[in-house]
Amino acid sequence: MTPAARVQSSIELLDLIVLAARSQAAPADRILADWFRSHRFAGSKDRRAIRELVYRAIRACGPIPSSGREAMLRVAEEDRELAGLFDGSTYGPRPIDAGERAAAGGVAPKWLVDRLAASGISGAEAEALLDRAPLDLRVNTLKVQREGLELPEAATQTDAPNGLRLVPGTPVEQWDAYRDGRIEIQDTGSQLACHAVHAQPGEIIVDLCAGGGGKTLALAAAMENRGRLIASDTDRARLSRLAPRAERAGADIIEARLLDPGKETEALADVAGQADAVLIDAPCSGTGTWRRNPEARWRLTDASLARLCSTQRELLTLGAHLLKPGGRLIYVVCSLLDEEGAAQFGRFLGDNIAFKPQALSLPLGVPRDSGTRLTPFHDGTDGFFIACAVQP
Ligand SMILES: C[S@@+](CC[C@H](N)C(=O)[O-])C[C@H]1O[C@@H](n2cnc3c(N)ncnc32)[C@H](O)[C@@H]1O
């Protein structure tokens, strides 16, 4: 493909992505994968260049643009070489009309920029939400210790106890160490959220919103495969990814439990009052993960945020009900909005005065009310709010 043809294909893909974002349909990654499958003439270099262009344009537009062309013009405004490819050549984009409008830039739609600012995220902190994320690994101590691990490429140690960092795009999935479960791909912030659980061998631990089990596997490793680790979620597809991952990681103590939405308490009745620790990695707006998923800021609405906050409240209540006296409740969201993080947790503490917040001794982050906040700007991790409470 010519460079101009790649730009035109990216514009057409952005049209599909914008349409899908407006109707909460397929995510950008899926749209790209489908397009590459049905356009075999696009070779690997074309695919890489198109993906790069599409994500540059998504990052460049704060509010959702009205078309793919407007989005690409936004990038072209700051890239003369790209602007020169709007040349009207065969398969290329038509020339830029005098006065043709580019999409608005910025970090996010205005209502979200305002909410972030109200939560103390503005300026450089807000801009860093759209940086490129590094590639972080967790060494699976069920199989190997960090000191004993040999990898095809040099990695630097992170602040997470078993964390390593590589250049983004390193083909980790093709490495033997990945295939045989010695390493997992996991953001440092996510690793520190697991560290905050202080999971011990022999404990009963519930990972209430386990999803595909990223954090469950880290907990199993901390528990040295001893004790009970119940991994629950309401999403069958996500939870079904856990069993093969657990097998690869050699994590034997995980009991996966699919929850019926609205009937979670019944499904976990046998654990009520028994757990040493409950991790609530709650569903959230994901404002802390825009580095990996910049399109998410086009999809979030005030109404969906309110629904997420209400689910978080219910999950906190359920988590508290599962704990034994003295048990630890660890609340985590990959969001930087206080209504999902500090204020949500503060409300729980206000409604449940028997629970006392516990300081977290994490190597990164800054205190935010009763918890700790990690941000891409301050900590180089995804954005997280992490807090712990104990009922003495
Ligand atoms: C942030 S994700 C969890 C990610 C996961 N812990 C990991 O590390 O990969 C939140 C999860 O909460 C789940 N969820 C939503 N509502 C739930 C509910 N009522 N009970 C349990 N899980 C729920 C979602 O399906 C989603 O998988």
Nearest CA, atom 26, ligand 1: 211
Q: Which of 191, 194, 230, 234 to mutate to test the pocket of ligand 1 (most atoms within 8 A of CB)?
A: 234
Q: What atom of ligand 1 comes closest to residue 333's alpha carbon?
A: 1
Q: Which residues pair with 389 in a beta bridge?
A: 329, 357
Please count the residues of the chain.
392
pLDDT at 381: 98
- C-alpha of 87 from chain center: 38
For residue 94, the CA-to-ligand 1 centroid distance in Å is 45
pLDDT at 383: 98
252-281 pLDDT tens trace: 999 999 999 999 999 999 999 999 999 999
User: 194 and 222 in contact (C-beta within 8 Å)?
Assistant: yes
For residue 359, the CA-to-ligand 1 centroid distance in Å is 24
- Supply the pTM of this predicted model: 0.95
Average pLDDT along the chain: 97
pLDDT at 212: 97
Reduced to 3 states (helix: H, G, I; strand: E, B; else coil), residue 205 is strand
Place of tokens 């999409």: 103
pLDDT at 378: 98
- Is there an atom of ligand 1 within 6 Å of 212 CB? yes
User: 284 and 384 in contact (C-beta within 8 Å)?
Assistant: no
| DSSP type of residue 279 | E
Type of residue numbered 332: V
15-63 pLDDT tens trace: 999 999 999 999 999 999 999 999 999 999 999 999 999 999 999 999 9
- 135-185: in CATH 3.30.70: yes
Nearest CA, atom 9, ligand 1: 214
pLDDT at 143: 97
101-159 pLDDT tens trace: 999 999 999 999 999 999 999 999 999 999 999 999 999 999 999 999 999 999 999 99
For residue 283, the CA-to-ligand 1 centroid distance in Å is 5
Q: What atom of ligand 1 comes closest to residue 286's alpha carbon?
A: 1
pLDDT at 278: 98
Active site residue 334: yes
290-302 pLDDT tens trace: 999 999 999 999 9
pLDDT at 48: 96
Q: Which residues pair with 258 in a beta bridge?
A: 233
Q: What atom of ligand 1 comes closest to residue 264's alpha carbon?
A: 20
Round the CA-based radius of gyration of the chain to a whole number and report it.
22
pLDDT at 133: 95
- Is there an atom of ligand 1 within 6 Å of 209 CB? yes
- Is there an atom of ligand 1 within 6 Å of 187 CB? no
pLDDT at 392 over 90: no
Residue numbers belonging to the annotated binding site for S-adenosyl-L-methionine: 233, 260, 281
pLDDT at 185 over 90: yes
Q: How confident is the model at residue 207 (pLDDT cuts 50, 70, 90)?
A: very high
Catalytic residue among 61, 194, 334, 388: 334
For residue 268, the CA-to-ligand 1 centroid distance in Å is 15
Surface-to-core class of residue 224, CB atoms within 10 Å of its CB (0-12 exposed, 13-18 middle, 19+ buried): middle
Instruction: Count Cβ atoms below 10 Å from residue 78 Cβ, excluding itself.
Output: 12
State the Cα–Cα distance between residues 142 and 202, nearest whole angstrom: 15
Nearest CA, atom 17, ligand 1: 234
ipTM over 0.95: yes
Q: How confident is the model at residue 82 (pLDDT cuts 50, 70, 90)?
A: very high
For residue 314, the CA-to-ligand 1 centroid distance in Å is 13
Q: What atom of ligand 1 comes closest to residue 282's alpha carbon?
A: 10
- 190-390: in CATH 3.40.50.2300: no
What's the average model confidence in pLDDT over 195-201? 98
pLDDT at 369: 97
318-358 pLDDT tens trace: 999 999 999 999 999 999 999 999 999 999 999 999 999 99
What's the average model confidence in pLDDT over 214-230? 98
pLDDT at 79: 97
State the Cα–Cα distance between residues 17 and 35, nearest whole angstrom: 11
Instruction: Give the whole-number percent of the chain exceeding pLDDT 90.
Output: 99
Whose CA is closest to 77, among 103, 53, 51?
Answer: 103
